[in-house]
Amino acid sequence: MIEALRNALRMPDLRKKILFTLGILVVYRFAAHVPVPGVDREALRFAFSGVSGAGQVLNFLNLLSGGALSQFSVMALGVYPYITAQIVIQLLTPLIPRLQALAREGEAGRHKTTLYTYLLTIPLALLQGVAQAALMMQYGVLNQFGLGASTLVSLSILASLVAGTMLAIWLGELISQEGIGNGISIIILGGIVAQVPANVARLVLGDVSGLIMFLIVTIITVGVIVVVQEGERRIPVQYGRRVVAMRGNRLRVAGGQATHVPLKVNSAGMIPLIFAQAILIFPSAIASYLAVSGSKFVSDLGTFVSQNLGPNGNMYWITYFLMVVAFTYFYTDVMFRQQNLAEMLQRQGGFIPGIRPGRRTEEYLNGVVQRITLVGALFLGTVAVLPWLVRGIAETNTMLITSAGLLIVVGVVLDTMRQLEAQLLMRRYEGFLRR
């Protein structure tokens, strides 16, 4: 791997791509430290300390913002509205005929779908900006936002947040076009990695044994993630032979080759974790408000919900595991049905040996996907509750990288390695991944 990096850096065009990617990450990290107007730093640190009820909500959103939310900077929303817009478009595609038609139009259809995703990102960023600013206002981070504050200041805060999101998306697109790897993912990766030194420092100062434990757990988890993320079931496919007329009344036999269709064990990525945690963080956040109510009944109800559905309660993690498993099945099924794999094989003259084309092939493929998804769902569920499992062993809540962060880091690194490997193989260099 080190030798391959040296070979890549020796080549002017690849060196330019790598340096361009690093330069964009530096620009993003600088922008992540530019605060929105009227931020109270002390109140912001208190909100992220975990003492407040908003700690779990903010730490999750901070992950997707690439660490910018902890500064409540203009990049506080990160690319999360864009990711949400992508998920919404994907889920709406099988329900809206216009989106279905675009999905079949190839490159032109993808450009239009991307445009719709950008347009949907703006209102989603505005809504999320209002929600985050209102949450920050509850904890004194923002004192000039809301109905009782200056309209101009409130609009400037929202405009800064929305503009920061669009800037982050633009920087990510620049990396995708001129750099190496998927730009949106690399921006999130940069934010996650930037938080590791601070987490290591906290563990060194507070619990050295916890640091050793988490180093071991992190290494083992990364190994398992790589195995599962790369795992796939290969379905053999045979293409029938056909006679093709050539010039001069000559005939040629075409087709007949054998290949395979790879079905990923975990094709849902980390989307189920986002779904599940986005739903679970709100009960504990709402309960934190109810717990300080003047009514004893409401206060007791808020305390009960916080203790059981908050991140410190066992019920939270059990529910989290079950929801991740359920969402993995749901999202995988939606995405797989959109591919129309059985119809595509039949149209191209391909078939699975021993399986009749058409409906029987579709039923067979759905059955295989359901079985291998069980492994992926249990894997994602285990990774999701890893902090809870490790906390019982190391008796600390600080992790080097969160479970969702590990999935992102490993996935982005593998994807970037493949892209760099392809560039090196084009120039006859030995690639990163040895097979």
Same domain, 4 and 153: yes
CATH of the domain at 320: 1.10.3370.10
Convert 153-177 to b/e letters by CB count within 10 Å (16 or more is b): bbebbbebbbebbbebbebbebbbe
Top mean-pLDDT range of 37-46, 84-93, 360-369, 409-418: 360-369
148-166 residue pLDDT tens: 566 777 888 889 889 999 9
Residues spanned by the domain of 147: 1-195+403-435
Kindly state the tokens that stand for 60: 């999750």
Same domain, 10 and 109: yes
Q: Using an 8 Å Cβ cutoff, are 165 and 31 in contact?
A: no
Same domain, 36 and 84: yes
Same domain, 101 and 39: yes
* Total structural domains within the chain: 2
* Three-state SS annotation for the chain: CHHHHHHHHHCHHHHHHHHHHHHHHHHHHHHCCCECCCECHHHHHHHCCCCCCCHHHHHHHHHHCCCCHHHCECCCCCCHHHHHHHHHHHHHCCCCHHHHHHHCCCHHHHHHHHHHHHHHHHHHHHHHHHHHHHHHHHCCCECCCCCCCCHHHHHHHHHHHHHHHHHHHHHHHHHHHHCCCCHHHHHHHHHHHHCHHHHHHHHHHHCHHHHHHHHHHHHHHHHHHHHHHHCEEEEEEEECEEEEECHHHCEEEEECCEEEEEEECCCCCCHHHHHHHHHHHHHHHHHHHHCCCCCHHHHHHHHHHHHHHCCCCHHHHHHHHHHHHHHHHHHHHHHHHHHCHHHHHHHCCEECCCCCCCHHHHHHHHHHHHHHHHHHHHHHHHHHCHHHHHHHHHCCCCCCCCHHHHHHHHHHHHHHHHHHHHHHHHCCCCCCCCC
Residue 166, pLDDT score: 92
d(CA 159, CA 174): 22
Same domain, 263 and 349: yes
Kindly state the average pLDDT of the residues 401-430.
73
Same domain, 188 and 224: no
Residue 220, pLDDT score: 80
Same domain, 208 and 189: no
Residue 398 in this model has a pLDDT that exceeds 80: no
Task: Say what percent of the chain tops pLDDT 90.
Answer: 4
Q: Using an 8 Å Cβ cutoff, are 180 and 419 in contact?
A: yes
51-83 residue pLDDT tens: 444 555 566 667 666 667 777 888 888 887 888
Residue 231, pLDDT score: 82
Higher pLDDT, 357 or 402: 357
Residue 433, pLDDT score: 47
194-215 residue pLDDT tens: 777 776 776 677 666 666 777 7
Same domain, 247 and 369: yes
Residue 55's CB is within 10 A of a number of other CB atoms, namely: 21
Closest CA to 27 of 182, 164, 160: 164
Residue 310 in this model has a pLDDT that exceeds 60: yes
Top mean-pLDDT range of 169-178, 230-239, 305-314: 169-178
Residue 307 in this model has a pLDDT that exceeds 70: no
For the packed helices 55-64 and 107-138, what is the interaxial angle rounded to 10 degrees?
Answer: 150
d(CA 12, CA 14): 6
Residue 143, pLDDT score: 74
Q: What is the pTM of this model?
A: 0.73
Residue 431 in this model has a pLDDT that exceeds 50: no
Same domain, 161 and 208: no
Give residue 312's pLDDT band: very low, low, confident or very high (50, 70, 90): low
Q: Using an 8 Å Cβ cutoff, are 374 and 165 in contact?
A: no
CA distances to 65, 120, 140, 278, 417 from 187, in Å = 9, 20, 29, 21, 16
Same domain, 106 and 13: yes
Same domain, 349 and 380: yes
Amino acid identity for residue 1 in this structure: M
Residue 366 in this model has a pLDDT that exceeds 80: yes
Kindly state the tokens that stand for 237: 């496919």
Same domain, 362 and 312: yes
Give residue 120's pLDDT band: very low, low, confident or very high (50, 70, 90): very high
Kindly state the average pLDDT of the residues 413-427.
76
